[in-house]
């Protein structure tokens, strides 16, 4: 199949005639990137529902610690007997919430969906470089999701050492119940997830490098593709390190090695382990863990760049600077991991180095934020739901990013480390921002994915409730962090000093419940529009990029005839000739496949 | 009751949305434009809402800073904490300034340039000068912050046992409590390892090391005011973190290695209790506790104790099921009171011989 997909353009007229697709090859073991992207999206959304539901459970526990909720018993079984949440299951909930949201929703659900959908469509390729590997990549992701969900049913509870699974807590079942079978399944699931992610990333990189259509030079690629491309590279560089970290942890747990363990006395017994260091694990984990933040965020920023330019009817401001910032962020992201470890016991001198590199990364981030704002300036903004989510992303990216200046400073980190200040910071800057990117992408490319339009009014309701709710949840959270309230506390009632925070905790939880309810609007809109939505036109947003030159109905190979050639960059919105008229009369956009018009200059961006 | 109310609120909210979507659908029947692409009416409405949204952000910010001002920690009780607080203040002012300006611009532009059919966007793709300006400004500001931060960091982390007459104390963490070990007359901690843990020797002090004989193990941390203290931290089982927010101090406690942190306490517990901030804070907390107690008593439970402020050390690295309640009381007092208290504590040697004579 893939051989056909990449055959010479001219031999493509009879494409699609010589293989019949069955239900299984079309919907289940599909090698078509468009179908795989839908599979990623739907799996990601299902995992997202689980992840968000978990957050509601533990938010309720935090807001009303003395209260009995039957709902705990329904969902948590023996860990919620009589409606009282067990402290260890609280930790399991925060652990699995983190894992699912970071890896399964925002890495696979976001990057997996849109890299698969957009890379071939926007660079003018018939499919991914290897459709088969792409299929394997999805199915590995599916298996890892299933194992992660299964781990929730482990007898002694799912993994509960925090999503960062620092040993020795994660290595010793004696230390916490969840570190038995639950943690084993967690590690197996993640190992498979990493394999899936690597196969996907290699495919993306190869596709972007090799399969661009004629005229699609690197500097004519949409910023989405730049973001996906660079994200894939960061993934290839850093995910293997997590795999090694996980493998060594598996060895420590099951085969008696001492990579991370030393001098431990637990449950009346001295363990034989000698010479290992948990700090080593922290280094290995964050060597992935920090780039992971950008693996999550860069695709969202790429999607936003594209959507803001299209809906502002203006070129993205500073295309070269945007590409340069993506590259700078990618490079710096691999040398800042130590800022998670200022007070881990590593040499304080290293702390100085990491403070330096960390604050450096604020510079390209600031450039991106300013460029977005300038793109809005003097635009003709079409405020579609996707555009609102994109503007929302810039807003939360700024709010969350700024507090990073405090946390990235080793000195200031001392007193806010691991408090709710951190929780507020990273939820805004990577959680909410990346989710906004995901939503923006879904609203914008839904017509491309399903050939239908999503209901815009439901989209507006979804956006405004979410936007207010997200700030309502995470803005006050900074303040309870400033008190010195540690995260991952089952209840704050053990310290009377925190008694006056309980009202704020209730406020946050109420906002969280409302915001989660608003996501149901999205789900409703998503499912209903898929079947009963208004049929989409070919180019509903009047966009320049190549995906809108394909027919609405999906066909294998994307374009019915030859692959179109590209003659310009993707951001010629509202471009005028010297006489002040649009380049193409009566139309404020010029598709990438339109050759230069008479009297038009190509600007070198 | 709360559950019921919550469920009712969620249900009502759901119904509201359902009805809204119905109304929207009905109104659409009359409206010919069902393209699901934003039209001028949408642009107008959501542009204005964007302006409303930035006002919401500003109000939320003001509300939080005013309403939650008592959430900020009181003036630091340690020497280096004063520098910490100043750096925090400068950084806060800076980021709030940037926050207000950029959010303002972002949302104002979204409002001001909301689309209209007859409008034309400006083709504005590049401006090297502008980009240079907003690259160089963060560079300069961040360079300032980095340099200032690094000087403070080096001061805090540069732990010199030779300088002055520091008190050496070991902080010992295990699931789920803390112990302090004072180094005794010689101010040197005896060797220790988990392999020596046996019976009353719960910290694994090496009984053959003479430096350890005069060590004193306590379950409260008492510190003399205005004397530098160096903490040597050890964990018995998993990672913990010794977090002392009032002293702007935190360091992870790692099994298999000894981590260090040092500070000079400058305010006694008594002084902190009598500070204006703390008097007000404790009064608020006790008011809340009295109200809670009323409910508890009505339900047949015991009332909550009246709260009196004490410094505390808490665990700030996830360490197991009871992580949320792993704390130790810290008392900062005058040198005399400290010595008096220390005298009442048994040395490790005394403990051993007491056990032997039993």
pLDDT exceeds 60 at position B14: yes
Q: What is the pLDDT of residue A4?
A: 43
The reply to whether omega before B176 is within 30° of 0 (cis) is yes
Q: Whole-angstrom Cα distance, residue A210 to residue A208?
A: 6
CB of A42 within 8 Å of any CB in chain B? no
- Interchain contact, A352 vs B150, CB within 8 Å: yes
pLDDT exceeds 60 at position A6: no
Report which of A192, A27, A20, A32 is spatially closest to residue A104, judged by C-alpha positions.
A192
- Interchain contact, B3 vs A69, CB within 8 Å: yes
Average pLDDT over residues A235-239: 94
Q: Residues of B with CB below 8 A from A411's CB?
A: 83-84, 87, 149-150, 152-153, 156
pLDDT-based confidence at residue A19 (cuts at 50, 70, 90): low
**Residue B295, both tokens:** 């409910």
**Residue B355, both tokens:** 């056990």
Q: Indicate the domain borders of chain B.
A: 37-116+125-157, 167-271+306-357
Q: Residues of A with CB below 8 A from B6's CB?
A: 513
Cβ within 8 Å of residue A268, ≥6 positions away: none
Model confidence pLDDT, tens digit, residues B348-357: 988 888 888 8
Q: How far is CA B33 from the centre of its chain?
A: 53
Cβ within 8 Å of residue A89, ≥6 positions away: A76, A79, A80, A157, A160
- Interchain contact, B238 vs A382, CB within 8 Å: no
Q: Whole-angstrom Cα distance, residue B272 to residue A468?
A: 38
Report which of A582, A584, A577 is spatially closest to residue A603, judged by C-alpha positions.
A577
Q: What is the pLDDT of residue A2?
A: 42
**Residue B136, both tokens:** 């160089």
- Interchain contact, B134 vs A366, CB within 8 Å: yes
pLDDT exceeds 50 at position A13: no
- Interchain contact, A317 vs B125, CB within 8 Å: yes
pLDDT-based confidence at residue A604 (cuts at 50, 70, 90): low
pLDDT exceeds 90 at position A509: yes
- Interchain contact, B95 vs A176, CB within 8 Å: no
pLDDT-based confidence at residue B27 (cuts at 50, 70, 90): low
Q: What is the pLDDT of residue A599?
A: 73
A303: part of which helix (H) or strand (E)?
helix A278-312
Q: Residues of B with CB below 8 A from A479's CB?
A: 64, 68, 71
Q: Residues of A with CB below 8 A from B56's CB?
A: 468, 471
Q: Whole-angstrom Cα distance, residue A298 to residue A364?
A: 12
Chains A and B form CB pairs within 8 A to the count of: 410
Average pLDDT over residues A24-40: 89
CB of A580 within 8 Å of any CB in chain B? no
In A, residues 243-282, which contact B (CB 8 Å cutoff)? 261-266, 270, 275-279
pLDDT-based confidence at residue B161 (cuts at 50, 70, 90): confident
Q: Whole-angstrom Cα distance, residue A395 to residue A471?
A: 10
For residue A417, the 8-state DSSP code is: T
Average pLDDT over residues A250-270: 93
- Evaluated on CA atoms B42, A548, A43, A206, the torsion sign reads negative
Q: Indicate the domain borders of chain A.
A: 2-9+30-261+277-549
Closest residue of chain A to B94, computed from CA coordinates: A402
Q: CA of A9, closest CA in chain B: separation in Å? A: 34
- Interchain contact, B153 vs A410, CB within 8 Å: yes
Q: Tell me how far CA of residue A79 lies from CA of A71, A86, A315, A405, B255, in angstroms.
A: 11, 5, 54, 39, 30
Q: What is the pLDDT of residue A8?
A: 43
Q: What is the pLDDT of residue A308?
A: 96
Q: What is the pLDDT of residue B5?
A: 66
**Residue A361, both tokens:** 């990364």
Q: How far is CA B281 from the centre of its chain?
A: 17
Fold of A2-9+30-261+277-549: Cytochrome C Oxidase; Chain A (1.20.210)
Q: Which residue among A87, A456, A461 places its CB closest to the CB of B36?
A: A456
pLDDT exceeds 80 at position B19: no
Q: Which residue among B50, B60, B114 places its CB closest to the CB of A475?
A: B60
The reply to whether omega before A168 is within 30° of 0 (cis) is yes
Q: What is the pLDDT of residue A380?
A: 94
Q: List the strands of the sheet with B311-315, edge to edge.
A: B221-224, B327-333, B311-315, B240-244, B249-253
Q: How far is CA B268 from the centre of its chain?
A: 21
Q: CA of A16, closest CA in chain B: separation in Å? A: 31
Q: Whole-angstrom Cα distance, residue B193 to residue B47?
A: 66
Model confidence pLDDT, tens digit, residues A549-595: 999 998 889 999 899 999 999 999 998 888 888 888 888 899 999 99
- Interchain contact, B285 vs A499, CB within 8 Å: yes
Q: What is the pLDDT of residue A596?
A: 87
Q: What is the pLDDT of residue A388?
A: 97
Q: What is the pLDDT of residue B4?
A: 67
The overall longest dimension of chain B from CA atoms, in Å, is: 99
Closest residue of chain B to A166, computed from CA coordinates: B239
Q: Residues of A with CB below 8 A from B259's CB?
A: 345
B62: part of which helix (H) or strand (E)?
helix B40-67
CATH architecture of B167-271+306-357: Sandwich (2.60)
Interface test with A, best of B324, B325, B329 (most A CBs within 10 A): B324
Q: What is the pLDDT of residue B355?
A: 82
Mean pLDDT of chain B: 91
Report which of B269, B252, B247 is spatially closest to residue B156, judged by C-alpha positions.
B247
Cβ within 8 Å of residue B288, ≥6 positions away: A499, A500, A502
CB of A517 within 8 Å of any CB in chain B? yes
Q: How far is CA A278 from the centre of its chain?
A: 28
Q: Whole-angstrom Cα distance, residue A328 to residue A275?
A: 37
pLDDT-based confidence at residue A5 (cuts at 50, 70, 90): very low
Residues B88, B343: contact at Cβ < 8 Å? Answer: no
For residue B68, the 8-state DSSP code is: T
Q: What is the pLDDT of residue B294?
A: 92
Model confidence pLDDT, tens digit, residues B30-61: 556 788 999 999 999 999 999 999 999 999 99
Percent of chain A scoring above 70 in pLDDT:
96
The overall longest dimension of chain A from CA atoms, in Å, is: 86
Q: CA of B46, closest CA in chain A: separation in Å? A: 7
**Residue A354, both tokens:** 């990491």
**Residue A483, both tokens:** 């008190």
3 state DSSP class of A213: coil
3 state DSSP class of A471: helix
Rg of chain B in Å (alpha carbons): 30
- Interchain contact, A457 vs B24, CB within 8 Å: yes
- Interchain contact, B237 vs A70, CB within 8 Å: no
Please give, one letter per residue, the 3-state secondary structure of B183-245.
CCCCCCCCCECHHHCECCECCCECCCCHHHHCCEEECCEEEECCCCEEEEEEECCCCEEEEEH
Please return the burial class of B327, using the count of CB atoms within 10 Å of its CB with bins 0-12, 13-18 and 19+: middle
Buried b / exposed e over A132-148, threshold 16 CB at 10 Å, is: ebbbbbbbbbbbbbebb
**What dihedral do alpha carbons B314, B317, B320, B323 form, nearest 10°?**
20
Q: CA of A314, closest CA in chain B: separation in Å? A: 6
Q: Which residue among B6, B42, B71 places its CB closest to the CB of A456?
A: B42
Average pLDDT over residues B163-179: 93
Q: What is the pLDDT of residue B311?
A: 96
- Interchain contact, B46 vs A275, CB within 8 Å: no
**Residue A534, both tokens:** 């208004």
Half-sphere exposure of A139 (CA within 13 A, CB side): 11
Model confidence pLDDT, tens digit, residues B285-334: 999 999 999 988 998 888 888 999 999 999 999 999 999 999 999 999 99
Average pLDDT over residues B143-163: 90
pLDDT exceeds 90 at position A10: no
Report which of A270, A274, A284 is spatially closest to residue A346, judged by C-alpha positions.
A284
Cβ within 8 Å of residue B123, ≥6 positions away: A314, A315, A573, A574, A575, A576
Q: What is the pLDDT of residue A14?
A: 45
Q: Which residue among A176, A276, A378 places its CB closest to the CB of B320?
A: A176
Model confidence pLDDT, tens digit, residues A60-91: 999 999 889 999 999 998 999 899 999 999 99
pTM of the shown model? 0.92
Q: Residues of A with CB below 8 A from B325's CB?
A: 494
pLDDT exceeds 70 at position A390: yes
Q: DSSP string covering A507-547, please?
A: HHHHHHHHHHHHHHHHHHHHHHHHHHSPBPPS-TT---SGG
Model confidence pLDDT, tens digit, residues B184-238: 888 899 999 999 998 889 999 999 999 999 999 999 999 999 999 999 999 999 9
Percent of chain B scoring above 90 in pLDDT:
72
3 state DSSP class of A477: helix
Closest residue of chain A to B132, computed from CA coordinates: A367
pLDDT exceeds 50 at position A231: yes
Q: Whole-angstrom Cα distance, residue A169 to residue A186?
A: 14
Q: Residues of B with CB below 8 A from A517's CB?
A: 10, 13-14, 17
Mean pLDDT of chain A: 92
- Interchain contact, B113 vs A64, CB within 8 Å: no
**Residue A95, both tokens:** 């652990």
Rg of chain A in Å (alpha carbons): 25
Angle made by CA atoms A121, A123, A124, in degrees to the nearest 5? 65
- Interchain contact, A374 vs B61, CB within 8 Å: no
- Interchain contact, B110 vs A376, CB within 8 Å: yes
């Amino acid at each position: 199949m893939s051989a056909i997909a990449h055959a010479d353009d001219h031999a493509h007229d009879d494409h699609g005639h010589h293989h019949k697709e069955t239900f299984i090859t079309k919907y289940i073991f599909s090698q078509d990137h468009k179908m795989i992207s839908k599979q990623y999206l739907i799996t990601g959304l299902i995992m997202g529902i689980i992840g968000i539901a978990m957050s509601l459970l533990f938010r309720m526990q935090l807001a009303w610690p003395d209260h009995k909720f039957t709902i705990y018993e329904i969902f948590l079984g023996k860990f919620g007997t009589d409606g009282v949440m067990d402290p260890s299951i609280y930790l399991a909930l925060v652990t699995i919430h983190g894992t699912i949201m970071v890896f399964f929703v925002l890495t696979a659900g976001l990057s997996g969906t849109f890299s698969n959908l957009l890379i071939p469509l926007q660079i003018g390729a018939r499919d991914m470089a290897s459709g088969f590997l792409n299929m394997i990549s999805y199915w590995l992701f599916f298996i890892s999701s299933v194992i992660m969900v299964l781990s929730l049913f482990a007898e002694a509870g799912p993994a509960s050492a925090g999503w960062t699974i620092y040993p020795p807590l994660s290595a010793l079942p004696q230390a916490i119940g969840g570190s038995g079978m639950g943690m084993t399944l967690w590690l197996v699931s993640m190992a498979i997830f990493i394999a899936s992610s690597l196969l996907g990333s290699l495919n993306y990189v190869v596709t972007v490098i090799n399969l661009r259509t004629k005229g699609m030079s690197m500097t004519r690629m949409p910023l989405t593709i730049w973001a996906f491309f660079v994200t894939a590279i960061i993934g290839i560089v850093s995910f293997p390190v997590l795999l090694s970290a996980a493998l060594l942890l598996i060895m420590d747990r099951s085969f008696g090695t001492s990579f991370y363990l030393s001098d431990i006395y637990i449950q009346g017994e001295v363990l034989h382990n000698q010479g290992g260091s948990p700090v080593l694990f922290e280094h290995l984990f964050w060597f992935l863990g920090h780039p992971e933040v950008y693996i999550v965020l860069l695709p969202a920023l790429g999607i936003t760049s594209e959507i803001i330019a299209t809906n502002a009817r203006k070129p993205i401001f500073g295309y070269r600077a945007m590409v340069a910032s993506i590259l700078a962020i990618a490079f710096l992201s691999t040398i800042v991991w130590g800022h998670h470890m200022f007070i881990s016991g590593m040499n304080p001198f290293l702390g100085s180095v990491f403070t330096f590199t960390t604050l450096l990364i604020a510079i390209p981030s600031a450039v991106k934020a300013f460029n977005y704002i300038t793109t809005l300036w003097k635009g003709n903004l079409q405020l579609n739901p996707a555009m609102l989510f994109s503007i929302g992303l810039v807003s939360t990216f700024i709010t969350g990013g700024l507090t990073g200046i405090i946390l990235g400073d080793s000195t200031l980190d001392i007193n806010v480390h691991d408090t709710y200040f951190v929780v507020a910071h990273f939820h805004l800057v990577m959680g909410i921002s990346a989710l906004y990117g995901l939503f923006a992408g879904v609203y914008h490319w839904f017509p491309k994915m399903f050939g239908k339009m999503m209901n815009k009014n439901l989209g507006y309701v979804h956006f405004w409730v979410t936007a207010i709710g997200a700030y309502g949840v995470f803005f006050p959270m900074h303040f309870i962090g400033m008190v010195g309230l540690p995260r991952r506390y089952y209840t704050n009632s053990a310290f009377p000093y925190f008694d006056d925070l309980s009202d704020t905790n209730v406020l946050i939880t109420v906002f969280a419940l409302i915001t989660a309810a608003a996501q149901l609007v999205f789900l409703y809109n998503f499912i209903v529009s898929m079947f009963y939505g208004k049929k989409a036109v070919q180019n509903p947003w009047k966009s320049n990029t190549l995906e809108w030159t394909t027919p609405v109905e999906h066909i294998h190979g994307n374009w019915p005839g030859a692959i179109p050639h590209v003659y310009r960059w993707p951001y010629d919105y509202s471009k005028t000739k010297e006489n002040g008229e649009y380049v193409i009369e009566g139309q404020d956009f010029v598709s990438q496949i339109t050759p230069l018009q008479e009297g038009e200059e190509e600007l070198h961006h | 009751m709360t559950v019921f109310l919550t469920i009712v609120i969620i249900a009502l909210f759901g119904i509201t949305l359902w009805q809204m979507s119905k109304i929207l659908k009905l109104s659409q029947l009359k409206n010919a434009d069902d393209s699901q692409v934003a039209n001028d009416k949408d642009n107008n409405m959501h542009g204005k809402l964007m302006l409303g949204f930035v006002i919401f952000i500003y109000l939320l910010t003001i509300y939080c800073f005013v309403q939650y001002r008592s959430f900020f920690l009181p003036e630091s009780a340690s020497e280096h904490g004063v520098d910490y607080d100043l750096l925090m203040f400068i950084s806060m002012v800076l980021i709030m300034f940037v926050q207000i300006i950029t959010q303002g611009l972002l949302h104002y532009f979204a409002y001001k340039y909301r689309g209209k059919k007859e409008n034309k966007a400006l083709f504005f793709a590049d401006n090297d000068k502008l980009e240079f300006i907003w690259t160089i400004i963060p560079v300069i500001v961040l360079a300032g912050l980095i340099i200032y931060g690094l000087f403070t960091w080096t001061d805090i982390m540069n732990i010199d046992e030779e300088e002055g007459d520091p008190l050496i104390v070991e902080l010992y963490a295990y699931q789920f409590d803390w112990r302090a070990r004072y180094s005794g007359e010689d101010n040197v901690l005896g060797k220790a390892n988990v392999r020596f843990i046996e019976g009353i020797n719960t910290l694994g002090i090496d009984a053959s090391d003479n430096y350890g004989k005069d060590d004193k193990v306590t379950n409260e941390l008492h510190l003399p005011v205005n004397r530098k203290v160096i903490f040597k931290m050890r964990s018995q089982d998993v990672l913990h973190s010794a977090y002392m927010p009032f002293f702007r101090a935190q360091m992870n406690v790692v099994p298999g290695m000894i981590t260090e942190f040092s500070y000079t306490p400058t305010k006694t517990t008594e002084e902190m209790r009598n500070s204006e901030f703390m008097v007000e804070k404790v009064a608020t907390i006790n008011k809340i506790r009295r109200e809670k107690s009323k409910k508890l008593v009505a339900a047949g439970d015991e009332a909550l104790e009246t709260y009196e402020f004490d410094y505390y050390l808490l665990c700030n690295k996830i360490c197991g099921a009871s992580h949320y309640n792993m704390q130790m009381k810290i008392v900062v007092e005058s040198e005399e009171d400290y010595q008096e208290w220390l005298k009442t504590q048994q040395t490790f040697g005394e403990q051993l011989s007491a056990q032997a004579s039993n």
